Amino acid sequence: MAALRGIDLGVRDGEFFTLVGPSGCGKTTTLRCIAGLETPDAGAIRFGDTDVSDVPPEARGVGVVFQHYALFPTMTVRENVAYGLRFDPPDGSVDERVAAMLDLVDLAGMGDRDPDELSGGQRQRVALARALAPAPDVLLLDEPLSSLDARLRDRLRLELKRVQRELGVTTVYVTHDQAEALAVSDRLAVVHDGRIAQVGEPEAVYDGPETRFVAEFLGENNCLDGRAVGGETEGSLVRAGETEFAVTGDHRGPVTLCVRPESLDVNASHNQFDARVRDVEFLGDGYRVHFEWNGRDVVARLDDAPTGSVTLGFDPADAVVLER
Ligand SMILES: Nc1ncnc2c1ncn2[C@@H]1O[C@H](COP(=O)(O)OP(=O)(O)OP(=O)(O)O)[C@@H](O)[C@H]1O
Ligand SMILES: [Mg+2]
């Protein structure tokens, strides 16, 4: 079975580009093809105008960081970073380069430590320093933060972004975590079943998903199948069962209506429907409320915790209508 079925991607010079998708969708395989660790059956990999398809991994000018810190346990931090320079020694001294890299990832003074004397986050920063030491043209990161706890992950992703911006190194980042992808990327590609489902800037893809998969994978969404009928002077109506919802734009035929949890409101003046509270989760800055409506689950982000039955609604302009 093919792991990838037609990946056509262009990553721009200096950008932070993310491949995001569920487990097994082909993210790591794509990254390994870019690194030269895997050979695609068809197609080409180009860096700039150069076809690198036949260039071996060590000559491609890529730095790679994997999920599980593959530091050499018997080498010190400094030796680990210097190892990154074995194919490509710098013009100046190796010691200076290593020190500069450790400084960059905020580990100055840690050079003499062994990897087992470091925290998980520090080890990943050593792995990053090692990958960056030879000044690669392309940095490839495969879930480098996923084995860390949530707070450290949030901090390190900011740091990663800072280092990337400082160096201006073209970066392809792999994650299954959609929130992480939205937070760090200049642009992202949603990968689904070995294919690219959609590419764009995080806000553009979040606000304008082109398929139901993207609508539901990137952030939360309430998706409802219905039929769009004309009738409104501006916009259209989507009929689902007994209910009609007003939406903007001209739509006809079978559609999927998508409304984000944060677009649902108890004070909305449009598209009202009565829903029954099923579960309430406190999130600190508000509530995620699970409702039952016509035998379906509906999720809303609300400032206050409701009880019993409430009237929800949404602005027609906030709904995304996808043709089926
Ligand atoms: N060496 C291999 N030989 C054959 N099939 C493979 C190989 N490695 C991965 N696959 C298959 O290719 C598909 C894509 O795998 P890949 O590792 O790229 O997914 P992924 O998106 O990185 O997933 P995860 O989020 O779990 O890391 C999967 O169906 C997987 O079973
Ligand atoms: Mg993977």
Same domain, 227 and 98: no
Which of 170, 187, 212 is at the close of a domain?
A: 212
pLDDT value of residue 232: 61
**What is the whole-number distance in angstroms between the Cα of residue 268 and the centre of ligand 2?**
42
Q: Residue 230: which CATH number?
A: 2.40.50.140
Categorize the per-residue pLDDT at 1 as very low, low, confident or very high, splitting at 50, 70 and 90.
Answer: low
**What is the whole-number distance in angstroms between the Cα of residue 163 and the centre of ligand 2?**
23
**Residue numbers of the domain that contains 167:** 16-212
Same domain, 118 and 225: no
Looking from the CA of residue 67, the nearest atom of ligand 1 is 27
Q: What are the tokens at 55?
A: 């260039």
Same domain, 188 and 239: no
| Each residue's pLDDT tens digit, 248-287 | 999 999 999 999 999 999 989 999 999 999 999 999 999 9
Mention every residue, 6+ apart, whose C-beta is less than 8 A from residue 210: 197, 198, 322
Ligand 1 neighbour 26 (Cβ under 6 A): yes
Q: Is 4 within a domain?
A: no
Q: Residue 161: which CATH number?
A: 3.40.50.300
Same domain, 87 and 162: yes
**What is the whole-number distance in angstroms between the Cα of residue 4 and the centre of ligand 1?**
9
Ligand 1 neighbour 24 (Cβ under 6 A): yes
Give the number of domains in the chain. Answer: 2
Ligand 1 neighbour 236 (Cβ under 6 A): no
What is d(CA 94, CA 283) in angstroms, rounded to the nearest whole number?
48
Ligand 1 neighbour 23 (Cβ under 6 A): yes
b/e for 240-271, b at 16 or more Cβ within 10 A?
beeeebbbeeebeeebbbbbbbbbbbbebeeb
Q: If you average pLDDT over residues 163-174, what whole number do you get?
A: 94
H or E segment and range at residue 188: strand 187-192
Ligand 1 neighbour 307 (Cβ under 6 A): no
pLDDT value of residue 205: 98
Q: Is 2 within a domain?
A: no
265 within 8 A of 232, measured Cβ to Cβ: no
| Each residue's pLDDT tens digit, 101-131 | 999 888 999 999 999 999 888 998 999 999 9
Q: What are the tokens at 39?
A: 């050979």
Which of 192, 212, 232 is at the close of a domain?
A: 212
Same domain, 106 and 203: yes
Q: Is 5 within a domain?
A: no
pLDDT value of residue 80: 95
Rounded (10°) angle between helices 150-167 and 94-104? 130
**What is the whole-number distance in angstroms between the Cα of residue 26 and the centre of ligand 1?**
5
Same domain, 200 and 233: no
Q: What's the chain's Rg over C-alpha atoms?
A: 24
* Eight-state DSSP code of residue 115: G
Which of 156, 188, 212 is at the close of a domain?
A: 212
**What is the whole-number distance in angstroms between the Cα of residue 78 and the centre of ligand 1?**
33
- Those residues whose beta carbon sits under 5 angstroms from the ion ligand 2 are 28
Alpha-helical regions (H) of 2-133: 27-35, 77-83, 94-104, 120-132
Ligand 1 neighbour 25 (Cβ under 6 A): yes
Q: If you average pLDDT over residues 43-69, what whole number do you get?
A: 86
Q: If you average pLDDT over residues 200-220, what whole number do you get?
A: 97
Ligand 1 neighbour 124 (Cβ under 6 A): no
Q: Is 96 within a domain?
A: yes
pLDDT value of residue 233: 72
Q: Which amino acid appears at position 50 of this protein?
A: T
Same domain, 126 and 247: no
Same domain, 130 and 207: yes
